[in-house]
Amino acid sequence: MATVVQKNGIKPLANGNLVGHVEKMKQGGDESIAILHTEEQVRGEPVLGVNNSEESKNAVDTLENVEADPSATAAPEESAPEIDIVINNVVCSFSVRCHLNLRQIALRGANVEYRRENGMVTMKIRKPYTTASLWSSGKVTCTGATSEEAAHTAARRYARCLQKLGFNARFGNFRVVNVLGTCSMPFGIRLAPFSEKHQGIASYEPELHPGVTYKLKEPKATLKIFSTGSVTVTGKNLFLPLDMVKM
Amino acid sequence: MTYQLYRNTTLGNTLQETLDELIQYGQITPQLAIKILLLFDKSINNALPSRVRSRLTFKAGRLNTYRFCDNVWTFMLNDVEFREVQEVAKVDKVKIVACDGKNTEGKV
């Protein structure tokens, strides 16, 4: 997975600000550090987010920053645990701009499933390993890619598949709908006090979901924070989860 | 209506050839032949699950493609090894067509 991320030009990165956090921990010096520490992080986010949205006008710039970060901080703290963010899923949608005869696809296509009750055909390819849902309107959603680039190639491959099946398929209206990244903190998080501190943006309903749902406005993203320290980030754009890791 | 997919077996094919011959010689009517074939479908669909004891395992090296349409699974397998206790048979390509054995009502 990491290699795919790297191919995209984005390195799995050590948490750039981690050293700072560790120092704060030393200042705090008691057991409630973990929570304090996370609060620090989360407060830090929006600011970083703003910075980054400015930067992301120039994507290369952002990448350079990202790459520069670990080198800046890697040396001094040898004990600093690494926090990698991994992009797990990229969902994109596109249109082939023609009507699709689902039955024809189901009968002649390869690696297809057509359950009429769902009203769509599910098609899979192995490289990049993704699943596409094809609707008769010509709209296609493709899930499972591990980078935006992979999602794009997968989407084009599905369009080509449909073209080979005899449809007048074109490739239009491609957009990344959702990006999911996960990372894991080297400490646990006490969710109840955490969500109390962040009322409004964080919601914690243990009966509905075991994690805190933390909604960010500025880079629009939703974080699910779990007591084990695992964090999942969903957003519309690949740079958002990457911003998160800089917190 | 029961599955007609067993007509395309050795047993089914020979039955069809025989019936064709009998029709040609004028010994039975085509309607009777159709009736016989439907009866064959019914019997073999009953007999295969209840009377056949022999068991065979097979293992594929790779699932090339799969397809699911109208409640029928189609698998194209590569490098398949069929095994019946001691006997082993290797085949490069196998196509498997599988229908739902439980709810045969209302399906072809």
pLDDT in tens, A74-115: 334 455 667 788 899 999 999 999 999 999 999 999 999 999
Q: Among A103, A106, A111, select the one facing B65 at the smallest CB separation.
A: A111
Looking only at the bridges linking them, the beta strands covering A230-235 and A212-216 are unpaired
Contact yes or no for A98/A182 (Cβ under 8 A): no
pLDDT exceeds 60 at position A137: yes
Top-confidence residue, A190 or A43: A190
For tokens 């109208």, the residue is B70
Reported pTM: 0.65
pLDDT in tens, A39-62: 334 433 333 333 333 333 333 333
- Provide ipTM, 2 decimals: 0.73
Q: Among A107, A110, A111, select the one facing B69 at the smallest CB separation.
A: A107
Q: What pLDDT score does A104 carry?
A: 92
Query: Which residue type is seen at B93?
Result: K
Contacts of B68 in chain A (CB under 8 A): 106, 112-115
Phi, psi of A173 (to 5 degrees): 60, 35
Phi, psi of B102 (to 5 degrees): -85, -55
Q: What pLDDT score does A53 carry?
A: 38
Question: For the ranges A2-11, A166-175, A219-228, B92-101, which has the lowest average pLDDT?
Answer: A2-11
Whether residues A106 and B66 touch (CB distance < 8 A) is answered with no
pLDDT in tens, B35-71: 999 999 999 988 988 888 888 899 999 999 999 998 8
Q: How far is A103 from chain B (nearest CA, A)?
A: 8
DSSP per-residue string spanning A19-41: HHHHHHHHHH-STTHHHHHHHHH
Question: For the ranges A58-72, A218-232, B81-95, which has the lowest average pLDDT?
Answer: A58-72
Q: Does A1 touch chain B (CB under 8 A)?
A: no
Q: What pLDDT score does A88 carry?
A: 92
Contacts of B69 in chain A (CB under 8 A): 103, 106-107, 112-114
Q: What is the mean pLDDT of residues B17-46?
A: 93
Give, in order, the Cα–Cα distances in Å from A204 to each of A34, A221, A228, A229.
Answer: 18, 17, 15, 15
Mean pLDDT across chain A: 73
Q: What pLDDT score does A84 carry?
A: 84
Whether residues A114 and B68 touch (CB distance < 8 A) is answered with yes
Q: What pLDDT score does A235 carry?
A: 87
Contacts of A110 in chain B (CB under 8 A): 65, 67
Contacts of A136 (CB under 8 A, 6+ apart): A99, A100, A101, A102, A119, A120
How far is the C-alpha of A120 from the C-alpha of A130, rounded, in Å? Answer: 16
Q: How far is B69 from chain A (nearest CA, A)?
A: 5
Question: For the ranges A27-36, A146-155, A207-216, B18-27, which has the lowest average pLDDT?
Answer: A27-36
Strand partners, B62: B78
How far is the C-alpha of A1 from the C-alpha of A12, rounded, in Å? Answer: 10
Q: Among B66, B69, B70, select the one facing A111 at the smallest CB separation.
A: B66
Report helix, strand or coil for A151.
helix
Nearest C-alpha in B relative to A111: B66
Q: What pLDDT score does A185 carry?
A: 87
How many secondary structure helices (H) and strands (E) does chain A include? Answer: 8, 10
Nearest C-alpha in A relative to B68: A113
Q: What is the mean pLDDT of residues A35-40?
A: 39
Top-confidence residue, A42 or A158: A158
Mutation test of the interface with chain B: which of A114, A120, A165, choosing the one with the most B Cβ atoms within 10 A?
A114
Q: Does A118 touch chain B (CB under 8 A)?
A: no
Contacts of B67 in chain A (CB under 8 A): 106-107, 109-113
Q: Does A114 touch chain B (CB under 8 A)?
A: yes
Q: What pLDDT score does B104 carry?
A: 53
Q: Does A128 touch chain B (CB under 8 A)?
A: no
* Length in residues, chain B: 108
